[in-house]
Structure 1
Amino acid sequence: MCAHYESPHDKALLKKHFGIDLPSELARRDVWPGYVSNFIRRHPHADAGDDAVPEREALLGSFGLIPHWSKDDKIARHTYNARNETVAEKPSFRDAWKRGQHCIIPVQSFFEPDWRSGKAVPTRITLTNGEPMGLAGLWAQWRSPEGETVHSFTMLTINADEHPFMRNFHKPQDEKRSVVILPPERYDDWLQAGAGERGEFLRAWPADGLVADMTANREAQGPQQAHLL
């Protein structure tokens, strides 16, 4: 699972890589469950035939999905990862999954604990080419008791027990999981994918395309508060 990541803040790079303009309010650079950060979804009027309407839009939302039935936003501390094996059944995620509310989460790096030394070493993981990553996720919209509309998102994860790179993280006895990194040329395909097409996106990134840095663990010792649903 991934509970901590670094949000890219270079607006020019985000425009070039994701084809979006960031909201005027920048997200925090280091993001933990319950923090507000950016996510990208298909523009709700993308099919209107208006050239002025972009295909994608970037919004600010809580890292951790807040389902419409939740009484408060504290659930976001526990719903930041959605397992692909159970996402269709889990109450927190099934509505967003059924409605195809796919999103892309812009990430410069994410952190996982390396236990090969016998203790957890926060490790920063990036692409070998240094480019930002677009992670596959789901988004939701929730209305707070005060009437405020709140957006939120979660990362989809897959089993990584046999992945040459991602199997090195988390405790030896724990199941290994991985986020889903999307090929940039397929961003729009993911945002529009139908129920029968989603499985082709839920695949591990090649091991030789990832690099780990155990020394770049800025703010890696953050609020350890979430568990996998």
Structure 2
Amino acid sequence: MCSHYEAPTPHQVADAFGVALFDQGRLDLWPAYIGPFLRHPDGRAEDDESPAAMEVMTGSFGLIPSWSKDSKIARRTYNARSETVAEKPSFRHAWRHARHCIIPAVAIYEPDWRSGKAVATRIARADGELLGIAGLWEQWRDPSTDQILHSYTMLTVNADDHDFMKAYHKPQDEKRMVVILPKGSYADWLTARPEQSAAFMNQYPADRLAVAL
């Protein structure tokens, strides 16, 4: 599971994804911090012929469902398990309505316990390009201010047999990894219909990841 990652600068996102520049504060992100995500321009997939364009948004890292009374839930909803996302109350609306997004990242941080102590390890693409992490987005209206806040979560899959990611987290714990999309599937993910979502829930090849200093 990923609760800590490094976001790209606005210029990096604009160059990599062909979107407009945007305002971004901190780049070292934890749950409930504000970060960038990319989605289909109208926020949803219309049909299989939708254009490949995307827009950048900013929102809370940690999905806030529309029924939530406050935004504190974001501290617990930063990852969504692909095996249960369709049933979990916090995520099922976004999943069933194909509110797909891509979370750009320079690197993610995971704990390496092989020494017996947790060592935060920075993991990136081996080729140095940005990670494009599959996620879901939502919008929530703050009942106290009537303001709209967007939010997002990272989708995850089991990684017990993954040659790279199985080294992370405690030895007795299930191994998980975020769903990293191949660049060639970005547009397909953003425009996929709800019944097509599960096909994207795959492990990223181990040889394409590396520990980054």
Is the Cα contact below 8 Å between 1:22 and 1:59 reproduced in 2? no
1:77 paired residue number: 75
Matches within 5 A, 1:111-190: 111-145=109-143, 146-190=145-189
Is the Cα contact below 8 Å between 2:45 and 2:98 reproduced in 1? no
Identity within the alignment, %: 54
Q: Output the aligned Cα RMSD.
A: 1.8
- With over 3 angstroms needed to count, the CA separation of the structure-2 counterparts of 1:46 and 1:116, relative to structure 1, is closer
Q: Kindly provide the CA deviation profile for residues 30-67 of structure 1, in whole angstroms up to 9, marking residues without a partner as x.
A: 0000000000010018999xxxx982110110000000
TM-score by length of structure 2 reads 0.93
Q: Kindly provide the CA deviation profile for residues 148-183 of structure 1, in whole angstroms up to 9, marking residues without a partner as x.
A: 000000000000000000000000010000001111
Once residues 196 and 140 of structure 1 are traced to their aligned partners in structure 2, the CA distance between those partners, rounded to angstroms, is 19
Is the Cα contact below 8 Å between 1:110 and 1:126 reproduced in 2? yes
1:222 paired residue number: none
Question: Which structure 2 residue ranges, 5 or more long, are not aligned?
Answer: none
Q: Kindly provide the CA deviation profile for residues 110-144 of structure 1, in whole angstroms up to 9, marking residues without a partner as x.
A: 00000011110000001110000110000000000
TM-score by length of structure 1 reads 0.87
- With over 3 angstroms needed to count, the CA separation of the structure-2 counterparts of 1:205 and 1:47, relative to structure 1, is closer
2:106 paired residue number: 108
Matches within 5 A, 1:5-154: 5-9=5-9, 11=11, 13-23=12-22, 25-44=23-42, 55-145=53-143, 146-154=145-153
Once residues 46 and 55 of structure 1 are traced to their aligned partners in structure 2, the CA distance between those partners, rounded to angstroms, is 12
- With over 3 angstroms needed to count, the CA separation of the structure-2 counterparts of 1:70 and 1:167, relative to structure 1, is same
SS class of match (1:178): strand
SS class of match (2:195): coil
TM superposition outliers: structure 1 runs of 4+ over 2 Å? 13-16, 45-48
Question: Which structure 1 residue ranges, 5 or more long, are not aligned?
Answer: 217-229
Aligned amino acid, residue 87 of structure 1: V
Once residues 89 and 39 of structure 1 are traced to their aligned partners in structure 2, the CA distance between those partners, rounded to angstroms, is 23
SS class of match (2:93): helix
The number of residues matched between the two structures is 208
1:220 paired residue number: none
Once residues 44 and 31 of structure 2 are traced to their aligned partners in structure 1, the CA distance between those partners, rounded to angstroms, is 30
